[in-house]
Amino acid sequence: MPLVTPALAAIIFTAGAVSGTLGALLGLGGGVFLVPFLNLVLGFPFGVAAAISLTTVIATSSTVSAGRAGRQLINMRLGMLLEVATAGGSFLGGITAQLIAQSVLQRLFGIVAVVVAIIMLTRLRRRNVILDPAADPGILGGRYYEDESGATVSYRVRRLPLALGASFIAGNVSSLLGIGGGIIKVPVLNAWCGIPLRAAAATSAFMIGVTATAGAIIYYGHGQLEPTLAAAAVLGVQLGSWAGMRFGATASAKWLKILMAAVLFVVSAMMFARGGR
C-alpha cells in the first residue's frame, strides 16, 4: 500500500479530475485513463489502482443517474435485467482478480485498451437508431423525450441474449480491470440490440454503479482500497465530470477521440511491456 502524503493526494485528485473530464467528454467513465496512471505512472499495485478506480465509477454512476432519474432516459427495467448478468460477471471477476498475477491483468488491460481505442475510432460519427414513436415498445423497450428531434421516440429491445452476454463480459472485465465496462455494453446495445445511443449510455451508466460495487466490495475486503486516496480520486472525478458535462461540446469530440485512441494505444503498449516481464 502506497504511503499517503498530501502531495500524493493532490496528484491523485488532479488525475481524477483529468480522467473525469475526459470521461464526460467521451461518454466513458474515465477508469480506462485512471487505472494506467495509478499503476504505470505512480507504480501502485494493479489491485490498488483498480480498487480506487472502481470507487470513482460508483460515484460517477450514482451522480449521473440521480440527475437523470425521472426523465425516462434510463431504461430501468432493461438495466435491472442486465444487472443480473453484469453483477454476476463482476462478482466472478472480483474473485478471479485476487487469484491471478498482476502481469496477466496488465496484459488483459493492454488488450482491452486496444479494443476501446478501435471502438472509439470506428464510432467517430455515431448515429441514433430511432423507431416510429407510435410503436409499442414491448415489456423491455422504452420511450423518452428526445431534445434533438423535439419528439417522443420509442424503441424495442432486440437480441436480448446478446445484451445479457455483453453485460456479463462487461461486468467481468470491470472488476478485473477497475473500469466501468460501459465501453463494451454501450456499442453492443446500440448497434445490435436496437437501443438509441443516449438511452444505451444512460442505462449503462445506471448499471455500472451496481457492477462496480460487486467488484469494489471484494477489493475493500482484501484491504486494497485506501480510503484517503480513494477519497481524493472520487472528489477529483466528481469535479472533472461536472466540468466536462458543463463545458464539453460533444459535437467537437472527433479530434479528442482520435487523440484519446492514440493515448490508449500507448497505454496498451506500456501495459504489455510491464506485463511481459
Partner 1 sequence: MTRDEGRLASAQRLERAIGAVLRAGVTISSLCLIVGLVWAIAAGNGGVPSLLLQIGIVVLLGTPAARVVVSIAEYVVEGDWRFAVLTGIVLLELLASAVAALVFNRRL
User: Which residue ranges make up the site for partner 1 (CB under 8 A)?
Assistant: 4, 6, 9, 55, 58-59, 61-63, 65-66, 69-72, 74, 76-77, 80-81, 83-84, 87-88, 90-91, 94-95, 98, 209-210, 212-218, 220-223, 225, 227-228, 230-232, 234-235, 238
The least distance separating partner 1 from the CB of residue 201, rounded to whole angstroms, comes to: 17
Determine which helix (DSSP H) or strand (DSSP E) holds 214, and give its type and residue range: helix 197-221
Q: Minimum CB separation from partner 1 for residue 135, in Å?
A: 13
Q: Say how far apart CA 175 and CA 6 lie, in whole Å.
A: 28
Residues 127, 133, 135: CA angle, nearest 5 degrees: 110
Contact 181, 208 (CB under 8 A): yes
Q: How far is the CB of 259 from partner 1 (least distance, A)?
A: 30
Least distance between partner 1 and beta carbon 68 (Å): 8
Q: Report the alpha-carbon distance of residue 209 to residue 207 in Å, rounded.
A: 5
In this complex, which beta carbon is closest to partner 1, that of residue 1 or of residue 259? 1
Q: For residue 4, which of 239, 221, 232 has the smallest C-alpha distance?
A: 232
Q: Which is nearer to partner 1, 53 or 55 (CB)?
A: 55
Q: Identify which of residues 6 and 127 has a Cβ nearer to partner 1 in the complex.
A: 6
Q: In angstroms, what is the minimal distance from the CB of 72 to partner 1? A: 7
Tell me whether residue 221 or residue 276 sits nearer to partner 1 (CB atom): 221
Q: Which grid cell sits at 174?
A: 470491470
Q: Which cell is 121 given?
A: 475510432
Q: What is the length of the chain?
A: 277
Q: Which is nearer to partner 1, 144 or 274 (CB)?
A: 144
Buried b (16+ CB within 10 A) or exposed e, 116-151: bbeebeebeeeebeeeeeeeebeebbbbbebeeeee
Residue with smaller CB distance to partner 1, 12 or 264: 12
* Smallest gap from residue 109 Cβ to partner 1 (A): 21
The β-bridge relationship of strands 151-155 and 142-146 is antiparallel
Residue 166 · residue 189 · CB < 8 Å = yes
- Kindly tell me which of 48 and 58 has the beta carbon lying closer to partner 1: 58
Which residue carries 432493461 as its cell? Answer: 78
Q: How far is the CB of 74 from partner 1 (least distance, A)?
A: 7
